[in-house]
């Protein structure tokens, strides 16, 4: 226990030192929530890697590798990486050019302030809160495993530590500490992989003794099942506000694009390791072991605390980076989309900073309640992920590409897609619920938009095409002036 306690103490002292530093440095609401649109390449890379590699990587994906093999990577991790890189490759430049705060901001700019209510509520409450609760429970599990702490006490301690750090420094502290923590969590997962290989008798032994279906990218269920899972999971990452925040926070379009692609490429490479650890662990772990306990079994039971402590600190780093990102995601929605746009558009800088910090408290407390009250947070999180994707993906694409989309079409599309996705379990249809939600979303969006006219509040434009034309004109103007064309 001494090794673990020492590692934990050093880690949290460093984290809170950074939080206190940024508490005095951050003076504006823009800096607190979006880093003043001025974050450089490597901090963006680090925060993407750290945020991606949360509790799911260290605990959930290790367990999934143990039960379903490497096909889990192709069902869950790879689709998320693919759609995240697709978002950055296609949209990082036009989105960064808008200088916005949230996904809902995009809807507010295009259709008027109130049109962002649905995506704001989804992002702040339906996604951020249960995802934060997962991080709180994950951190309390670490305290229980390493220190023998009661789970209830561990949940409250985790909540207090996460809230304290996030409320102090906001996004600047989160991004800078994420950049450093990415090295810690990478070290942790590599050490865990090395330990698994050692106890599994080496790579050759593992490959020889592991059933072929557990090493196959398609697993025992075949290509259709992998593609269905990929379609259910992947599209959410096109509207994952955590990635949007990193795009907006970048110092320029070039940084947003290059850092984003680099970060997710590294995250994708790391994501192979937990599934591999799970597969390898079949050589030495009890066959009836609870998959969620496999991580702690390898770390605490097989590794010396001097080494295992590094792995656990890597997990704490992953949990902290995920938690502060999800809190700030919800805080941005409450502050920018609801408080500023709907309640107090003339708010002063002081009022906005106060609202931002109070919204951090609100999201954190709600996450604490969910962590205590619900026994199946994972299922709630999965539903939040699917609901967010079915509700927001096609409206987002319409804003970017389809000038004819109307406010009524987009708002009703979001409402109907949400209703369809939530009602799916009671409808008795065989069609996958995510696909069903997508069909309702795109059909209602197109039909209602064609049946209705543009609202007087709308800025009638297709953001992607208009922004592309604007960039080309600016580039041509700089060529005419004999200046270097921006990348």
Can you list the residues of the chain whose pLDDT is less than 50? 476-487
Helices (H), 424-462: 433-451
- Rounded CA-CA distance 358/365 in Å is 11
User: What's the pLDDT score for residue 478?
Assistant: 44
Average pLDDT, the chain: 85
- Rounded CA-CA distance 142/58 in Å is 11
Q: List pLDDT tens digits, range 53-103.
A: 766 666 778 888 898 899 989 988 999 999 999 999 999 988 888 778 788
Assign a CATH topology to domain 2-390.
Sodium/glucose cotransporter (1.20.1730)
Domains in the chain: boundaries: 2-390
User: What's the pLDDT score for residue 55?
Assistant: 62
Q: What is the distance in angstroms between the CA of the first residue and the CA of the last residue of the chain?
A: 52
User: What's the pLDDT score for residue 482?
Assistant: 41
DSSP state at residue 12: H
- Rounded CA-CA distance 25/355 in Å is 18
User: What's the pLDDT score for residue 376?
Assistant: 66
- Token pair 């607190």 is at which residue? 32
Q: Which long-range contacts (CB under 8 A, 24 or more apart) does 79-83 make?
A: 79/229, 79/230, 79/231, 79/233, 79/234, 79/237, 80/52, 80/233, 80/234, 80/236, 80/237, 81/237, 81/264, 81/265, 81/267, 81/268, 81/271, 82/234, 83/234, 83/235, 83/236, 83/237, 83/238
């Amino acid at each position: 226990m001494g090794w673990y306690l020492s590692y934990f103490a050093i880690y949290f002292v460093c984290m809170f030192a950074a939080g206190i530093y940024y508490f005095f440095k951050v003076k504006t609401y823009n800096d607190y929530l979006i880093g003043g649109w001025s974050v450089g390449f490597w901090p963006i890379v680090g925060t993407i890697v750290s945020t991606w590699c949360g509790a799911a990587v260290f605990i959930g994906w290790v367990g999934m590798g143990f039960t379903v093999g490497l096909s889990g990577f192709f069902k869950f991790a790879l689709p998320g990486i693919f759609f995240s890189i697709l978002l950055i490759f296609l949209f990082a430049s036009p989105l960064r050019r808008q200088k916005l705060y949230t996904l809902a901001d995009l809807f507010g700019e295009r259709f008027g302030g109130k049109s962002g209510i649905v995506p704001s509520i989804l992002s702040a409450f339906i996604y951020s809160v249960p995802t934060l609760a997962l991080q709180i429970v994950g951190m309390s599990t670490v305290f229980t495993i390493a220190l023998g702490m009661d789970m209830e006490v561990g949940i409250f301690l985790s909540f207090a530590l996460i809230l304290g750090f996030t409320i102090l420094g906001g996004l600047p502290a989160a991004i800078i500490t994420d950049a450093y923590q990415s090295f810690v969590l990478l070290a942790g997962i590599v050490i865990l992989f090395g330990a698994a290989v050692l106890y599994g008798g080496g790579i050759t032994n593992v490959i020889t003794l592991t059933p072929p279906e557990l090493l196959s990218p398609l697993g025992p269920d075949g290509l259709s099942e992998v593609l269905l899972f990929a379609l259910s999971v992947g599209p959410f990452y096109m509207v994952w506000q955590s990635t949007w925040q990193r795009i907006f926070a970048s110092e320029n379009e070039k940084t947003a694009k290059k850092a984003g692609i680099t970060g997710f490429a590294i995250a994708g490479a790391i994501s192979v390791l937990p599934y591999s650890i799970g597969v390898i662990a079949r050589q030495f772990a009890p066959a009836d072991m609870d998959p969620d306990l496999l991580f702690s079994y390898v770390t605490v039971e097989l590794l010396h605390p001097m080494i295992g402590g590094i792995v656990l600190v890597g997990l704490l780093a992953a949990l902290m980076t995920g938690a502060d990102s999800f809190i700030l995601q919800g805080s941005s929605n409450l502050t920018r989309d609801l408080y500023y746009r709907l309640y107090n558009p003339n708010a002063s800088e002081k009022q906005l900073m106060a609202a931002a910090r109070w919204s951090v408290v609100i999201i954190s407390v709600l996450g604490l309640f969910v962590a205590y009250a619900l026994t199946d947070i994972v299922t709630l999180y999965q539903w939040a992920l699917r609901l967010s994707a079915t509700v927001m993906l096609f409206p987002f694409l319409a804003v970017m590409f389809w000038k004819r989309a109307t406010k009524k079409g987009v708002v009703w599309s979001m409402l109907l897609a949400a209703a369809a996705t939530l009602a799916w379990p009671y409808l008795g249809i065989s069609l996958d619920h995510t696909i069903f939600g997508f069909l309702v979303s795109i059909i209602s969006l197109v039909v209602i938009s064609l049946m209705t006219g543009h609202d007087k509040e709308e800025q009638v434009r297709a953001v992607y095409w208009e922004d592309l034309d604007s960039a080309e004109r600016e580039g041509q103007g700089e060529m005419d002036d004999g200046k270097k064309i921006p990348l």
